[in-house]
Structure 1
């Protein structure tokens, strides 16, 4: 394995060399003169091919709308997860991080849940406060993928801007993208400094949080977040009073917030 240092880098096969990208750098290696496959490797090859094609579909479904830079290992991690899950177990995707360094649980102590009717509920909770962070930009990306036909049917997004110093009363988003295929929902959170997003990967998260298979009411979701007792402060009396006032006035009902189409 050697590092590519020229101005023009490449990935894939070029002559007897193979170029690839990992951890933010480009490398290359020479092709082996002879490849000997065992029975186990020959049996694993079809599974890898199927997983690789599914992984490519998932990446293409979210690549255009993701604002969080994925880490260099996410392609291999995604393929490995799909291989281990098997050909028809897409529910295993419901805990995948595009950025392995930070998860959405850093920003939400209570995990969002997807109901059978396609409504994504983000529970009311106290948001964490980080030094210098003025808002949390929350983007929900829902994509319908038809794996049998190898195509992305449709992708839709919704955007919320949350203020950590204000009471968050929760939200409900309609993410039931029309069409046939598997529904995959990704939650992205970026810490914002005014109009600029943080460049620190510790404050940028993008996780697949829910998967719903076609023709079934079963929903696969990211496991509930742990609730450390001392990490986040409890709501202040002022926050509770403000939240109750909003609820009494009827303004604390964002149930009609629908996901916006491209």
Structure 2
């Protein structure tokens, strides 16, 4: 592996070399060379392991594409490899299926709780206590936040407002796309930072990933501008709700007549044995 020093960097395969880039700690691209393998031999176990890895990568891509409007605020601070590794661990935790046929079960999906999309900041650094999630009878999911703690440090200098939002992600790995649902954005002033907040999301019939996003901003000309500092924003997975099973509909019949379980006997014609023995319908001729 060697670094490219040319003016025009190259990406892709060139003879027996492959050009690619990766970002450094400052977020800038660095172009590198590596030698391509001459031949790749895959055995049957390797192919099955590659199938499970493909399933995890596909699930990670579904989540990233669904959260693209919110991840653009974090830019290069979000590492895709961390999300891929999280789904790979979920796939590996499935012990009920053989390699190559593993799936994402709801029990193993609970390991996503606490996953932070901003590796430098978590929502627990803003909240005074963990959020409380309840399911209402009107097919809604309520998230109660007792309060937010915003420390008065240099990184938060100039912050005047805090915005809070909840995102529901109905997750189904069999689909090609996921449509997220966001709650209303609540904006509170810094002096009222310890007030309780209630967020409402519509309930979904599928397995749902609940995320909470907290961002800090400052007021300019009566408008709230979100801060670009990565130390003032966080978005974490707070819960993975199971799929709602459909209720059994009990059929109500209007006819209240009780069902008849007694089968009436079959009426058979009675034979006149005396008539057949003594008399005849047609008299004999003499």
Alignment counterpart, residue 60 of structure 2, candidates 55, 60, 64? 55
TM-score by length of 2: 0.63
- Shift, 1:212, TM fit: 1.1
- Equivalent of residue 114 in structure 2, options 95, 102, 109: 95
C-alpha contact 2:163 2:187 (8 A) present in aligned 1: yes
Judge which range, 123-132 or 145-154, deviates more: 123-132
Which residue pairs with 1:131 in the alignment? 157
Report the CA distance shift for 1:40/1:70 in structure 2 as closer, same or farther (over 3 A).
farther
Q: Does structure 2 conserve the Cα–Cα contact (< 8 Å) formed by 1:146 and 1:153?
A: no
Task: With the length of structure 1 as denominator, give the TM-score of the two structures.
Answer: 0.68
Which of 185, 189, 207 pairs up with 1:159?
185
- Establish whether residue 27 from structure 1 lines up as the match of residue 21 from structure 2: no
- What is the match of residue 106 of structure 1? 125
Q: Is the 8 A contact 2:167 2:212 kept in 1?
A: yes
In the alignment, the residues of structure 2 paired with residue 92 and residue 48 of structure 1 have an alpha-carbon distance, to the nearest angstrom, of 17
Q: Contact conserved, 2:126 with 2:148, CA < 8 A, in 1?
A: no
Distance 1:157 1:107 in 2: 19
Structure 1 ranges of 4+ moved more than 6 A: none
Q: Which structure 1 segments of 5+ residues have no match?
A: 217-262
> Do structure 1's residue 65 and structure 2's residue 70 form an aligned pair?
yes
8 Å contact from structure 1 (residues 68, 206) kept in 2 = no
Deviation at 1:71, TM superposition (A): 4.2
Structure 1 Cα separation of the partners of residues 214 and 228 of structure 2: 13
Match of 1:46 in 2: 51
Work out which structure has the larger RCO, using CA pairs closer than 8 Å and 6 or more positions apart in sequence: 1
Q: CA RMSD in A?
A: 2.9
- Number of residues of Structure 1 aligned to a counterpart in Structure 2: 213
1:173-193 deviations in whole A, cap 9, x for unaligned?
222354x43212222222213
Gaps in structure 2 of 5+ consecutive residues = 92-103, 246-286
